[in-house]
Amino acid sequence: MDTLAPKERSERMSRVRGKDTKPELIVRRLLHGLGYRYRLHARDLPGKPDIVFRGRRKAIYVHGCFWHRHPDPACKLARLPKTRQDFWVPKLEGNRQRDIENQRRLTEMGWEVLVVWECGIGQAKTPDLTDRLRRFLDAETPSC
């Protein structure tokens, strides 16, 4: 049983964003500060990656731990709701399977993919994330 009335649930769910989320904006700000320029949400690529570097053939997905089912058992943000699990489990598992398929398709197209999880973003984790982004983007892309 849902703990919110249908109108309250609808209002709360309407605030869930598909793009320009806080974690995504943080990653974009870091990249821009490092001097990298990029494109956003490329519709012509599988899964519309959040951040795209066409010249490098690299794509970054910024995933929310809840919506994309972060597999790390230590992640507290990836918990399942206590109510309506018959709805949530297939929905969230479908999201996860779609992500895996989109990343596979991108790799087959010769792209490199990096997934940044929401729980890996934050004030204390910024230096690690910055290093991870720099290593990903500065690594040589294998020839096709």
Q: How would DSSP label each residue in 120-139?
A: G-STTTHHHHHHHHHHHHHS
Q: Which residues pair with 61 in a beta bridge?
A: 115
Residue 133 lies inside a defined structural domain of this protein: yes
Please give the mean pLDDT across all residues of the chain: 89
pLDDT at 14: 66
pLDDT, tens digit (0-9, with 9 covering 90-100), for 105-117: 999 999 999 999 9
Reference 47, options 134, 92, 107, 7; nearest CA is 107
Residue 9 lies inside a defined structural domain of this protein: no
Domain of 116, in residue numbers:
18-137
For residue 141, pLDDT over 70 is answered with no
What is the number of domains present in the chain? Answer: 1
Residue 79 lies inside a defined structural domain of this protein: yes
- CATH number of the domain at 127, please: 3.40.960.10
- Contacting residues for 104 by C-beta, under 8 A, at least 6 apart: none
pLDDT at 95: 94
Residue 56 lies inside a defined structural domain of this protein: yes
Residue 87 lies inside a defined structural domain of this protein: yes
